[in-house]
Amino acid sequence: MTDITTGTGNTTDVLLLTLDVNGEQHEVITEPRRTLVDVLRHDLRLTGTHVGCEHGICGACTVLVDDRPARACLMFAAQADGARIRTVESLSDGAELSDLQRAFSDHHGLQCGFCTPGFLMLAEGFLAERPEATKDEIREVVAANLCRCTGYQTIVEAIDGCAVARRCTRGPKES
């Protein structure tokens, strides 16, 4: 993070940030008070991260920051300087959906889709940390985000289905 100075040596109200987003380095000039979600959506044009309540309650803006779920509406972009940020755009490989995205589709874990990116990133971070998660643990985690359409059960089923498939692909747990 670098303060931008004027020709007279006075510091202005903007910062030069280096953000590592989805494996790509971006230099962004922004005001210190701008949120990460605003920089992602407006400066980097990564509109998969949604803005919902802007109070950290709904979870629509959830991204991974250094592999941990974070509310991008509550985080200043300056706080993410030098961190690894992953947005929902990082999940798919071009036209190929990730296993988690396919599980959401297969289990009807989405309806209107507004909350889906936040749930996907919450689940991605959680499953990376807890690949052996039980349905009860998944249910507890997804309660942190809000969905007005699905009733949560299909979201829990989708995340559990993905977790089970990943465990099967990985094989028996090593002793």
Residue 101: name the closest of 120, 85, 84, 119 by CA: 120
Is the model's pLDDT at 175 over the cut of 70? no
| Mean pLDDT lowest among 3-17, 23-37, 102-116, 157-171 | 3-17
Q: What is the mean pLDDT of residues 22-45?
A: 96
DSSP letters, 102-123, are: HHHHHTT--SS-SSHHHHHHHH
What's the pLDDT at 71?
Answer: 97
Residue 10's pLDDT band (cuts 50, 70, 90): low
Q: Compute the mean pLDDT over every residue in the chain, rounded to the nearest whole number.
A: 91
pLDDT in tens, 77-91: 999 999 999 999 999
pLDDT in tens, 95-153: 899 999 999 999 999 888 899 999 999 999 999 999 999 999 999 999 999 988 888 99
For 19, the enclosing helix (H) or strand (E) is strand 11-21
Question: Rounded to whole angstroms, how far apart are CA atoms 1 and 8?
Answer: 20
